[in-house]
Amino acid sequence: MTSYFDGIAPVTYEGPDSTSDLAYRHYDPDEVVMGKRMEDHLRFAVAWWHSFAWPGGDPFGGQTFQRPWFGDTMEHARAKADAAFDLFAILGQPFFCFHDFDIRPEGASFAESASNLDAITDYIGQKMETSKTKLLWGTANLFTHRRFMSGAATNPDPDVFAYAAATVKSCMDATMKLGGQNYVLWGGREGYETLLNTDLTREAEQAGAFLSKVVDYKHKTGFKGTILIEPKPQEPSKHQYDYDTATVYGFLKRFGLEKEVKLNLEQGHAILAGHSFEHELAMAASLGILGSIDMNRNDYQSGWDTDQFPDSPREVALAYYEVLKAGGFTTGGTNFDAKLRRQSLDPVDLVAAHVGGMDVCARGLKAAAAMLSDGVLETHRAARYAGWDTPDAKKMLKEQSLAEIHDLVVAADLRPEPKSGRQEILENVVSRYI
């Protein structure tokens, strides 16, 4: 049987001196880093939507890619799955992720779409029996079809809420059927274009009720995976409700779901929100809701969600530093929610993009692990806050009132002296490890 990737051999680890375009120079799945195999740390996933469904368009021009599986029939969907598993065999990565919309043709009715999803997940399930690649997460596309133009859970029309709820149920079923380890909700249209026609209070209540039903369904079905929300501040909606980690945490607390739902954080979305990726990761870890990551980058000039494969060891290292510091992934992993540039037409481009992304992540992970094991940053951080470990400081924080603290300051004639934050030295330390 011919394959779209004919002539491309499985990619292997050749070490840092390799000059091959299609070899791992840093990603050695079996190398043990901080007591764990690299593959088990990173838990790489290929995204079905960007790698197999995206046609290579932009706002000024349509399709540039001509994949043989492009089309709206079940036959096309099966050919797409065949190509996907061929790529997985070449890369050897342990996971993939999908939306319903990526893997099955849209039907004329809800029932037909659901039956297409059932048939294609049977087919994918069979392919998984002879593949090492498992499902990291499934999700529903509640943003492409015109029915969702004014939102899914937050739509002013209850029929759309119902359609979205039914779709999520079918996608959670599909995820469970394929042994998925997480279920993701990204609210692509959960936001607004103009406040002039929007009732913020109702929409938040709808979103809270929707998520509660998802969590109830998880418990009713016994799904052992993690429910993840993926924050993003804008695009496609002008303003999206799941703006960033802190905003989503506030939403989860409001509806009593902060122990039930974690986050899938995406590098590019953090940048769009005006944060660094490591800020979002550190904040989520601190709030106990760090789940999984989408590891892609944005173009810093365009200011848009360009979903490029990661290429900066330093950025990636700082991100994995936060992941490792939080104890590493449990059900989560590293999904490449990343697409080729539209001029990168060939099968080899798809392979090389993933190889490069995996390699840069492996390099970042190793640097992060070394920084953490050597304690170079943590020793400094602990020293910086050491004053707070004294009994007097603890007492002030927990027990003393504003007036009591005032009296202490006066009695001791306190004259605090500023101390250097040592930022440049710490940045130099990071550079040493990259």
Residues at the site binding Co ion, with contacts judged by CB under 5 A: 266, 294, 337
**Residues contacting 371, CB < 8 A, separation 6+:** 317, 321, 377, 429, 430, 433
Amino acid identity of residue 381, one-letter, is R
Tokens coding 90? 């070449």
Does residue 294 touch ligand XUL according to CB under 6 A? yes
Nearer to Co ion, 218 or 339 (CB): 339
Q: What is the DSSP letter of 50?
A: I
Closest CB 301 distance from ligand XUL, rounded Å: 19
Reported as type and span, the H/E element at residue 431 is helix 423-433
Q: How many Å apart are CA 382 and CA 376, to the nearest integer?
A: 11
Q: If contact means CB under 5 to 8 A according to the sort of partner, which of ligand XUL, Co ion, none does residue 86 touch?
A: none
User: According to CB under 6 A, which residues from 74 to 133 bind ligand XUL?
Assistant: 99
Tokens coding 259? 């122990």
Closest CB 140 distance from ligand XUL, rounded Å: 8
Closest CB 135 distance from ligand XUL, rounded Å: 14
Q: How many Å apart are CA 120 and CA 79, to the nearest integer?
A: 11
Q: Parallel, antiparallel, or unpaired for β 290-294 and 334-336?
A: parallel
- In three-state form (DSSP H/G/I as H, E/B as E, the rest C), the secondary structure along 271-283 is HHCCCCHHHHHHH
Does residue 305 touch ligand XUL according to CB under 6 A? yes
Taking CB atoms, the residue at the shortest distance from ligand XUL is 186
Q: If contact means CB under 5 to 8 A according to the sort of partner, which of ligand XUL, Co ion, none does residue 232 touch?
A: ligand XUL
> Is the sign of the CA dihedral 375, 377, 379, 381 positive or negative?
negative
Q: How many residues does the chain have?
A: 434
Contact between residue 370 and residue 361 where contact means Cβ atoms under 8 Å apart: no
Does residue 190 touch ligand XUL according to CB under 6 A? no
Does residue 337 touch ligand XUL according to CB under 6 A? yes
Site string for ligand XUL, 220-249 (x = CB under 6 A): ----------x-x-----------------
Q: If contact means CB under 5 to 8 A according to the sort of partner, which of Co ion, ligand XUL, none does residue 270 touch?
A: none
Nearer to Co ion, 172 or 185 (CB): 185
Nearer to ligand XUL, 94 or 187 (CB): 187
User: Which residues contribute to the site for ligand XUL (CB under 6 A)?
Assistant: 99, 139, 184, 186, 230, 232, 266, 294, 305, 337
